[in-house]
Amino acid sequence: MGYSGARGGLEAILAAEDLVRRKRDHASAPWASTEQIAARFRLAVDRVMGEAGLYDEPTAADAFRQAEGDTLEASHLLRAQRSTLPRLAVSEPVDPGEMTVLRRIVPAFRQPDGPQLLGRTSDYTGRLLERPEGPPEPPHENTALVGNATERTEEQRNPRRFLDLLRKLDLIAEGRTADDPEPHDITRKPARPPADRSAVLAAMARAESGALVALWYRSILGPDGDVHEITLGDLRHGRLPLRVRHPHTGNPVAVGEFRVTEAEAIEDLDGADEDRTRFDIGYGLCFGHNERKAIAMANLDIANRRFGRNGPLEQLLLLTIDGLDSGGFLEHLKLPHYVTFRSMVERKQAMRAAAEAGEEPPARAAEPAGKDCR
């Protein structure tokens, strides 16, 4: 820690940490349990799991509570926790087509193959603040609306993909290859340009959601300000099975399930060297219910493959959107920079003195890296 070297620095650090704990643990408001946080702040918990790269709702809820609602700090806590856990097995590849759909919309087609399931969303209602004035009303379990919304058949919960229809019409420029390379594990080996598509997608899946959305928004605005035509195909939120191989039989065994959000974006191919009779498809998938991130992923997947390979966009996707990297660099600015700033002041004073004396200003000497935070 940068302050520990200063006089009384260690005592100040311990006092600051103690103040955080006392204010958090002995606040006037009732203590929020792990179950309450997971149920009442589900989208924040899902965001923490996605940005941390660890799917465990109770642990993410505990991190959210300890961070006092700071999702970036909670993601940091969750990644630190993950680093202490043994890796007991590697899960089997999962087919997203196995998803048990909780929500599914197809904005590109009025009557897709399978139902549109609006699910749990407020996308179609006004953003009006509701102030609680008493205990919440019990759910209207006897209404026909709720019954129709929850009672779905297995076929409705597993609809065919909209992409299958486009393939049937021969409208897709296929990006699939005969060989399937091993996915890049960014948790063990950092990805650097040029990188495989799996590495870019993994980096986006673990990215800070706001940074990813901002980068996507800039990417669809061309240099001249024109908006590139983007259409959202299939958007899904649902549950996928988690399988590992049994240590004795070697057979895949389902040990649980996890929720994901999946998006497929459609873009018109209009380049001079592209097949203008077809569309390109971008893909996004992330932990939990986080539709903004999945949609941004799918669109940036297209942009990176068409225009960004080994270029500025790929560098941004791999090197700048990780919340812990960018946030950590920003946070370090709060540590002491006495030495650096003192040298800057002395240079300014020397340049002013040289100018007043009519002399050549002194040349700036190269500073060794890492001299800050002393």
Name the token pair of 95: 């087919």
Per-residue model confidence as pLDDT tens for the chain (374 residues): 455 555 667 888 889 888 888 887 777 778 889 999 999 999 999 999 999 999 999 999 999 999 999 999 999 999 999 999 998 889 999 999 999 999 999 999 888 888 889 998 988 888 889 888 766 666 655 444 444 445 778 878 888 888 888 999 999 987 777 777 888 999 889 888 889 999 999 999 999 999 999 999 988 876 655 556 689 999 999 999 999 999 999 999 999 999 999 999 999 888 778 888 999 999 999 999 999 999 999 999 998 988 767 788 899 999 999 999 999 899 989 888 888 899 999 999 999 999 988 887 766 665 555 455 44
Residues 6 or more apart whose CB falls under 8 angstroms from that of 330 comprise: none
Burial class (CB in 10 A: 0-12, 13-18, 19+), 320: middle
Helix ranges restricted to H, 206-282: 209-220
**Every domain of the chain and the residues it spans:** 2-83, 96-119+144-175+183-321
Encoded amino acid at 140, one letter: H
What's the farthest any 2 CA atoms get from each other in the chain?
Answer: 90
Residue pair 220/230 in contact (Cβ under 8 Å)? The answer is: yes
End-to-end CA distance of the chain: 9
Nearest C-alpha neighbor of 55 from the set 264, 240, 277, 329? 240
| Location of structure tokens 């049994």 | 246
Residue pair 165/147 in contact (Cβ under 8 Å)? The answer is: no
How many Cα atoms occupy the beta-carbon half-sphere of 188 within 13 Å? 4
According to DSSP, the residues that pair with 242 across neighbouring strands are: 256
